[in-house]
């Protein structure tokens, strides 16, 4: 009898250990090739490895950006195509994803989205490759059951036109809420500006109105892409895609005050300048920034404890082509890179003390990955 109880106890402890190290990785992708849409994989946060057998494959057309609700029970995706759409899904307690509905984004190539803090509205960035009519920002209400309603507000920006090939039209690339949820920041690559909007969740038709100041000017032809706030909302960081730089701001009364602008590469060739995503470590001590183009690197910076300023620390090859997005796993011990054009996810070990990226733990085959999100 004692042997039986010992065996049962051992099995239970092993099960708890496995559960403690398990996380769920969601992968968004482009479906022009073999990918079918959204993939759900188990991720071992102790070993730093993705289980090669997906728990679920959800068919969806080019769900290139994923947005989870605060309780992780709702999932929203953009469908990045001409005449774009946005899709809604429910997520069960065990992670099962079920489609709810899909609505038009009223624009082309929606590339990014954010959910209001009160979960009432989804903000969607229509990038729009073609200059006419160009990109736009749209607001979509979210019903209590998680389904999306039709667009109620659409906002357009004037392009800078500095680069006639890439800035003849507006190209809204990302939409980021302030930590308090009261303002929305729209990075427009085509306008060389970050536009700032006040958010009013009580409004049923115009939740967004221009703030004062209404925008932040960036260098002509720099092409702002992604913005990130620190946890306290005192500092913000922005990638400039076309100039291959990262900018550090102080945040004062919701205005962005530039304090630093640093290059991501020492190469002068424009092909090596293609800033992408950026993420802070959980403790806020390190900033990670992707640079695509011919560089294909993750650049690591140390973040000043008080002033938030950046100090270069490391450049690390992504060992692939076009790091569309990347993510730190829940343990903060691994960094996963979605290399879109080389069809792979590369898992790198991370040293929490130094912030540096170390050995490659896994190179995982995945067709055209574009976004990575964890369900904990």
3-class secondary structure for 42-72? EEECCCCEECCCCCEEEECCCCCEEEECCCC
Q: ω before 91 within 30° of 0 (cis)?
A: no
Q: Express each pLDDT in 316-366 by its tens digit.
A: 999 999 999 999 999 999 999 999 999 999 999 999 999 999 999 999 999
For residue 128, CA distances in Å to 4, 112, 168, 177, 188 come to 64, 12, 11, 21, 11
- Beta strand 49-50 with 344-350 is unpaired
Q: Express each pLDDT in 288-319 by its tens digit.
A: 999 999 999 999 999 999 999 999 999 999 99
| Nearest partner of 208 among 172, 260, 237, judged by Cα | 172
Percent composition of the chain: helix, strand, coil (DSSP 3-state, to 5): 5, 50, 45
Provide the pLDDT for residue 8.
Answer: 40
Residues with Cβ within 8 Å of residue 14, at least 6 apart in sequence: none
Q: Give the domain ranges of the chain.
A: 61-262
- pLDDT at residue 115 is higher than 80: yes
How high does pLDDT run on average in the chain? 94
- pLDDT at residue 35 is higher than 80: yes
DSSP state, 288? E
* In contact, 170 and 158? CB cutoff 8 Å: yes
* In contact, 173 and 127? CB cutoff 8 Å: yes
* In contact, 206 and 153? CB cutoff 8 Å: yes
Residues with Cβ within 8 Å of residue 19, at least 6 apart in sequence: none
* In contact, 323 and 345? CB cutoff 8 Å: no
Q: What is the mean pLDDT of residues 178-204?
A: 97
Provide the pLDDT for residue 6.
Answer: 43
Q: ω before 124 within 30° of 0 (cis)?
A: no
Share of the chain above pLDDT 70, in %: 95
Distance in angstroms (rounded) separating the CA atoms of residues 79 and 102: 9
The dihedral built from the CA positions of residue 215, 218, 222 and 226, taken in this order, carries a sign that is: negative
Distance in angstroms (rounded) separating the CA atoms of residues 115 and 66: 11
Q: Express each pLDDT in 78-91 by its tens digit.
A: 999 999 999 999 99
Distance in angstroms (rounded) separating the CA atoms of residues 95 and 220: 44
Residues with Cβ within 8 Å of residue 340, at least 6 apart in sequence: 30, 321, 322, 323, 324, 368, 369, 370
**In the CATH scheme, what architecture does the domain 61-262 have?**
7 Propeller (2.130)
pTM over 0.85: yes
Least confident window among 12-26, 44-58, 319-333: 12-26
* In contact, 88 and 69? CB cutoff 8 Å: no
Provide the pLDDT for residue 268.
Answer: 86
Provide the pLDDT for residue 300.
Answer: 98
Here the tokens at position 339 are: 């290399």
- pLDDT at residue 7 is higher than 60: no
Question: Cα–Cα–Cα angle for 264, 268, 272, nearest 5°?
Answer: 55
Q: Express each pLDDT in 274-290 by its tens digit.
A: 999 999 999 999 999 99
Q: What is the mean pLDDT of residues 177-204?
A: 97
Distance in angstroms (rounded) separating the CA atoms of residues 87 and 37: 12
Distance in angstroms (rounded) separating the CA atoms of residues 165 and 355: 38
- pLDDT at residue 265 is higher than 70: yes
Provide the pLDDT for residue 20.
Answer: 55
């Amino acid at each position: 009898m004692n042997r039986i109880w010992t065996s049962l106890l051992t099995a239970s402890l092993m099960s708890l250990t496995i559960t403690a190290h398990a996380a769920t990785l969601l992968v968004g992708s482009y479906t022009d090739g073999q990918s079918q849409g959204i993939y759900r994989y188990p991720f071992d946060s102790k070993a730093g490895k993705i289980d090669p057998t997906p728990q679920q494959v959800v068919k969806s057309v080019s769900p290139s950006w994923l947005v989870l609700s605060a309780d992780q029970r709702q999932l929203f995706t953009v469908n990045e195509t001409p005449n774009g759409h946005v899709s809604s899904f429910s997520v069960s307690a065990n992670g099962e994803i079920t489609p709810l509905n899909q609505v038009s984004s009223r624009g082309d190539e929606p590339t990014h989205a954010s959910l209001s803090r009160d979960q009432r509205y989804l903000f969607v960035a229509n990038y729009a490759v073609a200059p006419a009519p160009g990109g736009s920002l749209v607001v979509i209400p979210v019903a209590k059951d998680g389904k999306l309603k039709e667009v109620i507000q659409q906002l357009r920006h004037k392009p800078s036109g500095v680069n006639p090939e890439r800035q003849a039209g507006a190209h809204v690339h990302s939409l980021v809420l302030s930590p308090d949820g009261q303002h929305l920041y729209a990075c427009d690559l085509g306008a060389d500006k970050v536009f700032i909007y006040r958010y009013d969740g009580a409004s049923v038709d115009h939740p967004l109105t221009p703030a004062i100041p209404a925008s932040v000017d960036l260098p002509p032809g720099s092409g702002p892409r992604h913005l990130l706030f620190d946890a306290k909302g005192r500092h913000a960081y922005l990638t400039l895609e076309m100039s291959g730089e990262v900018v550090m701001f102080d945040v004062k009364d919701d205005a962005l005050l530039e304090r630093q602008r640093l290059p991501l590469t020492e190469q002068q060739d424009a092909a090596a300048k293609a800033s992408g995503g950026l993420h802070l470590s959980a403790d806020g001590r390190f900033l990670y920034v992707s640079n695509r183009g011919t560089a294909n690197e993750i650049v690591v910076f140390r973040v000043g404890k008080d002033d938030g300023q950046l100090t270069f620390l490391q450049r690390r090859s992504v060992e692939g082509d076009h790091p569309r997005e990347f993510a730190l796993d829940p343990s903060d011990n691994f960094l996963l890179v979605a290399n879109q054009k080389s069809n792979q996810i590369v898992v790198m070990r991370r040293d929490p003390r130094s912030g540096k990226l170390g050995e490659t733990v896994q190179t995982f085959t995945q067709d055209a990955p574009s976004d990575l999100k964890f369900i904990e």
